[in-house]
Amino acid sequence: MEDRHYLTDPRQVRLLPGVPQALRQLKRAGFKRVVVSNQSGVGRGLLTLAQLHRVNRRFVHLLKMNKASVDGLYWCPHQPSARCSCRKPKLGLAKRAAAALGVSWKGSISVGDKPSDVRLGQRSGGWGILVRTGYGKRWKKNEVKPDHVARDLKTAVPWIIKRGKDDHYGHSKRKTRIAR
């Protein structure tokens, strides 16, 4: 979705262009599509869990209206200073999502616009894709070395599908983590 600083109003939720189509393509290709998100605004007191739930329901509703879906939504509500195991790029949420879906978290492909999104996939032994939307527009090459850079999720899909089929790590790549 479009990035809004500590989004509290579900009416402000907007899907990025091409996202529903990309999610449908990934589903047809057999990938699990999961949103893993750092939501430190909760820990900072800038939004409540109830507000976060309403925003997420609106996101899911907009996807459904566009005949798309995700297999799960997972978020870390902690501030960075909490040093929890669920804050990206740590693997806590990826492991939790994988367990809920009955798949391995190893070799996940993570897509997002921040270094933590890229590192999440790389830490799993998979790949991290940087999209040039939101914060990704300001990406500097010295911040993180993505395995692939794409204009947006839609243009990343062919690369993702090819890597999922190549499977050169020896385990399934069909567990894409879509990070926001």
The CATH number of the domain where 31 resides is what? 3.40.50.1000
Per-residue pLDDT, 170 = 40
The parts of the chain modelled with pLDDT lower than 50 are 168-180
In a domain, 75, yes or no: yes
In a domain, 4, yes or no: no
Distance (Å, rounded) from C-alpha 155 to C-alpha 9? 29
In a domain, 130, yes or no: yes
Per-residue pLDDT, 168 = 42
**How many CB atoms are closer than 10 A to CB 173?**
27
Write out the E strands in the chain: 34-38, 72-76, 109-112, 127-131, 148-150, 177-179
Per-residue pLDDT, 74 = 97
In a domain, 1, yes or no: no
In a domain, 102, yes or no: yes
Number of domains observed in the structure of the chain: 1
In a domain, 3, yes or no: no
In a domain, 5, yes or no: no
Q: Which domain holds residue 73?
A: 10-179
In a domain, 22, yes or no: yes
User: Rounded to an integer, what is the distance from CA 68 to the centroid of its chain?
Assistant: 15
Per-residue pLDDT, 174 = 39
Residue 179 main-chain phi, psi, to 5 deg: -100, 150
